[in-house]
């Protein structure tokens, strides 16, 4: 009996093994296809091995000639796709990433930036241009970004170098029309409407027969701008975009309410500097681009003398081009991004929402970059590229990473700004050169207060100073409870200068300053938000006029959007300075800026409004 039992057990095991082998062979013979769980595309083992990916490059013909050679520009494109798109005829959607950076850049040597030590309104001294960029990279791979994330999940990943960079024809225009039409052409090729070629100037065509005709785009910074640029063309097949910290207006990047302002960390950069930074294209074509784009269009259009808004800037503002846009959009940004400031995302999100475009916004508390959680991106692309009904369009509109959370655990809200936020108006009570008061009941007539401009003092030093004549600061009572701010503060300031021009910088800070012993304090530890303006533009962004010394002018402008919980024990401080060491031009110290406290106030968006604020200070 024991022998019979052992034999029976052996037979059972043998049968199970044979069944497993048959089942495995059946799975291997079955065509590989995308797999979904919980509304997300899952990793498919058959797509996971890089040795079984097909990598190729080609050139897509555009509808423009931006390098003056009489030929339509062609964009260099690479493709990474599962082998099953060839061996089994599998068609897949595309994740597309375009960039001016893939072939290398000139570097950020301040020697090649504009000198910010100049008097306001004067013509700046011409800066030095950097040496030639030596293109990097080996064909057929332009970039490896996005590939490991999306190819195993059943997407094809495509990259392209933007005009005048890498092996793409054309000229960089830093926000010009060709930078929108170039990714449009690639999407047209993916959808069978444009021609692709095996070589840069050859006639042997390449077709994207493996593409379903559904395309999504993503990228960070300039690479986040280009998905929006493509979407504003209304190109068919671009179903969804996830821009991360995108520059949506070059005026808002290099100017602020009429003021010449640098992006954080790049003091003295401007459009022509960025042109030099990315211009890695054909050496033989660079002279044309420099002469016609950089030294003509950009030099005349960027206007570092007045800082006024003009047609040059209007043509580089994607908000003006959104009428054709229909791609679903998940926007991502950081509230402490002082390179591409957070208004860039909000202005586009609000416009997309007004158009009825499916959209969500994700904000975190850190600096430049920072994508949404992978799961959130996956759900977005799965819904709009594969058509899986996962309900993402019904998710909350806004996702905010709270101060003590990591990027993968945002808090959901009905929208941004928080729908429960209401503007609370604060007035100023005198106190210079020490601290004045920030109050919600307008005080009786207050004196005028004056500060003396001196760019050599940082905003951090001025916020912490007990007594100084180089800033004015007004603080609220100490908060007894946490206070939630959500939205864009708006200041109305009545001020005069003793000179025809003056820098104006406004900060909202949380005091006392964080002097933690275990890490170096940063401005972002105590910064709520900030903004900059030129009083000469008090009437219009397009037309500035010299100030009459001693005459008071009233100007209203918004500070950068924020969403922050100010902790109990802190005070809210409104700080007014003139030149901002890290952002503005640096005129010689000594200009006097006088503020009429009776004509100055600030609206702060408080969740719960005045009632919540009064409760927090009692």
Q: Is 586 a catalytic residue?
A: no
Angle between helix axes 222-231 and 178-190 (nearest 10 degrees) is 70
Cis peptide before 316 (omega within 30 of 0): no
The owner of tokens 């000198």 is: 115
User: Which residue reads 């007894």 in tokens?
Assistant: 480
CB 104 within 8 A of CB 134: yes
HSE on the CB side for 134, CA within 13 Å? 0
The single residue of 76, 344, 364, 368 carrying the catalytic annotation is 368
Which single residue is written with the structure tokens 């950089």? Answer: 294
3-state class of 483 per DSSP? strand
Per DSSP, what are the bridge partners of residue 398? 361, 413
Q: Is 523 helix (H, G, I), strand (E, B) or coil?
A: helix
Q: Where are the alpha helices (DSSP H) in 135-194?
A: 147-150, 178-190
Q: Is 283 helix (H, G, I), strand (E, B) or coil?
A: helix
- Look up residue 365 and give its two tokens: 């508390």
Phi, psi of 319 (to 5 degrees): -65, -30
- Which residues 6+ apart lie within 8 Å of 610 measured at CB? 422, 424, 440
SS3 of 76, please?
strand
| Closest alpha carbon to 183 in 268, 264, 79, 77 | 77
Cite the DSSP H helix spans in 156-200.
178-190
Query: What angle is formed at CA 578 by the lines to CA 119 and CA 557, rounded to 5 degrees?
Result: 110
Rounded Cα–Cα distance for residues 526 and 532 (Å): 18
- Given the DSSP bridges, would you call strands 553-558 and 490-497 parallel, antiparallel or unpaired? antiparallel
Cβ atoms of 253 and 270 within 8 Å: the answer is: no
Neighbouring CB atoms inside 10 A of 464's CB total 16
Token pair of 53, please? Answer: 């990916």
Choosing from 337, 453, 563, 580, the catalytic residue is 337
Check 161, 221, 459, 544 and give the catalytic one.
221
Q: Identify whether 162 is a catalytic site residue.
A: no
Cα–Cα distance for residue pair 299/36, rounded to 1 Å: 52
Q: How far is CA 444 from CA 240, 430, 439, 472, in A?
A: 55, 11, 12, 19
Give the three-class secondary structure for 532: strand
Buried b (16+ CB within 10 A) or exposed e, 288-298: bbbeebbeebb
Contact 376, 395 (CB under 8 A): no
Q: Kindly report the number of other CB atoms within 10 A of residue 389's CB atom.
A: 9
Residues in the chain: 618
368 part of the active site: yes
Distance from the Cα of residue 373 to its chain's centroid: 16
- Write the CB contacts of 54 (distance below 8 Å, at least 6 apart in sequence): 79, 80, 81, 82, 83, 85, 86
Catalytic residue numbers?
Answer: 221, 337, 368
């Amino acid at each position: 009996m024991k022998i019979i039992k052992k034999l029976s057990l052996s037979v059972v095991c043998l049968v199970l093994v044979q069944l497993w082998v048959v089942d495995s062979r059946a799975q291997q013979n079955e065509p590989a296809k995308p797999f979904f769980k919980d509304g997300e595309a899952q990793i498919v083992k058959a797509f996971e091995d890089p040795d079984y990916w097909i990598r190729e490059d080609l050139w897509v013909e555009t509808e423009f000639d931006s390098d003056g050679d009489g030929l339509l520009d062609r964009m260099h494109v690479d493709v990474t796709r599962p082998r099953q798109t060839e061996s089994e005829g599998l068609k897949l959607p595309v994740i597309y990433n375009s960039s001016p950076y893939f072939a290398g850049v000139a570097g950020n040597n301040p020697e090649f930036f504009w000198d910010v030590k100049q008097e306001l309104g004067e013509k700046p001294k011409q800066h030095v241009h950097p040496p030639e960029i030596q293109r990097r990279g080996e064909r057929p791979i332009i970039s490896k970004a996005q590939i490991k994330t999306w190819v195993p999940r059943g997407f094809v990943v495509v990259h392209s170098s933007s005009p005048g960079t890498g092996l793409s024809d054309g000229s960089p225009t830093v926000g010009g029309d060709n930078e929108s039409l170039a990714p449009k052409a690639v999407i047209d090729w993916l959808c069978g409407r444009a021609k692709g070629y095996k070589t840069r100037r050859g006639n042997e065509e390449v077709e994207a027969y493996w593409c379903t005709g559904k395309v999504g785009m993503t990228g960070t910074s300039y690479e986040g701008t280009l998905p929006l640029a493509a979407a504003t063309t209304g190109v068919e097949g671009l179903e969804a975009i996830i821009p991360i910290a995108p520059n949506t207006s070059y005026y808002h990047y290099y100017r602020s309410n009429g003021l010449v302002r640098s992006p954080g960390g790049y003091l003295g950069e401007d459009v022509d500097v960025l042109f030099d930074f990315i211009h890695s294209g054909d050496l033989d074509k660079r002279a044309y681009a420099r002469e016609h784009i950089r030294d003509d269009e950009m030099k005349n259009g960027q206007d570092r003398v007045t800082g006024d808004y003009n047609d040059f800037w209007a043509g580089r503002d994607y908000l003006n081009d959104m009428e054709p846009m229909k791609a679903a959009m998940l926007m991502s940004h950081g509230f402490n991004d002082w390179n591409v400031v957070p208004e860039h995302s909000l202005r586009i999100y609000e416009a997309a929402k007004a158009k009825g475009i499916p959209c969500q916004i994700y904000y975190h508390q850190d600096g430049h970059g920072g994508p949404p959680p992978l799961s959130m991106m996956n759900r977005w692309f799965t819904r709009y590229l594969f058509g899986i009904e996962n309900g993402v369009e019904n998710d909350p509109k806004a996702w905010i990473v709270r101060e003590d959370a990591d990027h993968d655990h945002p808090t959901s809200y009905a929208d941004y700004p928080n729908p429960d936020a209401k503007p609370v108006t604060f007035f100023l009570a005198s106190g210079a050169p020490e601290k004045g008061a920030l109050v919600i009941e307008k005080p009786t007539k207050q004196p005028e207060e004056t500060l003396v401009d001196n760019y050599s003092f940082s905003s951090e030093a001025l916020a912490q100073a007990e007594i100084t004549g180089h800033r004015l600061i007004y603080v609220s009572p100490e908060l007894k409870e946490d206070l939630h701010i959500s939205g864009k503060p708006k200041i109305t300031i009545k001020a005069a200068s003793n000179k025809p021009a003056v820098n104006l910088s406004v900060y909202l800070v949380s005091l006392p300053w964080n002097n933690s012993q275990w890490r170096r304090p940063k401005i972002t530890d105590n910064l709520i938000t900030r903004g900059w303006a030129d009083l000469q533009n008090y009437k219009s962004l397009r037309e500035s006029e010299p100030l009459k010394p001693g005459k008071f002018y009233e100007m209203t402008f918004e500070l950068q959007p924020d969403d922050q919980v100010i902790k109990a024990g802190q005070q809210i401080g409104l700080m007014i300075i003139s030149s901002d060491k890290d952002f503005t031009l640096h005129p010689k110290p000594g200009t006097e800026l006088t503020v009429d406290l009776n004509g100055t106030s600030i609206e702060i968006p408080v969740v719960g409004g005045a009632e919540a604020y009064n409760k927090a200070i009692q």
